[in-house]
Amino acid sequence: MISELRISRLDLELIQGELEANSPYEACGVLVGTIDRDTAVVEKAVPITNSKRTTTSFELEPEEFYNAWNNAEKSGMEIVGVYHTHPNSSAVPSMWDRETMQNDMGVWLIAGSDGMKAYVWEDGVQAVEIVGI
């Protein structure tokens, strides 16, 4: 199980900027990098259009997601997780998030009105430590 997410301060600032620029709607993207045992190391946060454009959920625009996945693979990396924003609530997985997380082995980074938190699904929602690098 992934217990640590290493991500640059620049990528954290990018995600915070996405939260502010898209408010009141949720923004989303992927976290590209590598996994080393129980640590996901993010090399790049890649914003992707929220094709739902709602205040309570997100859906990664399929073509942009495919391009991000393809570019990651060509660079010898993978998508280690997703990020999305909760501009009107805390950085806690919603019911929709929880249902969707069960089918995703990656990290979920949520930027909320109270900061950023990360999670994985392992017999329920488990917190992941965010380490800024």
- Over its length of 133 residues, how does the chain's per-residue pLDDT go in tens digits? 899 999 999 999 999 999 999 999 999 999 999 999 999 999 999 999 999 999 999 999 999 999 999 999 999 999 999 999 999 999 999 999 999 999 888 999 999 999 999 999 999 999 999 999 8
Q: Which CATH architecture has domain 4-128?
A: 3-Layer(aba) Sandwich (3.40)
* Exposure on the CB side of residue 39, measured as CA atoms within 13 A: 9
CA angle (18 as vertex; 79, 46 as ends), nearest 5 = 25
- Residue 104: exposed, middle, or buried by beta-carbon count in 10 A (0-12, 13-18, 19+)? middle
Q: Is the dihedral of CA 64, 67, 71, 72 positive or negative?
A: positive
**Count of CB atoms within 10 A of residue 98's CB?**
15
> Domain residues of the chain, as ranges?
4-128
pTM: predicted TM-score of the whole model, two decimal places: 0.96
CA 118, CA 126: separation in Å to the nearest integer?
A: 9
Asked if 19 and 26 touch (Cβ cutoff 8 Å), the reply is no
Which helix (H) or strand (E) is 132 found in, with range? Answer: strand 125-132
CA 113, CA 108: separation in Å to the nearest integer?
A: 16
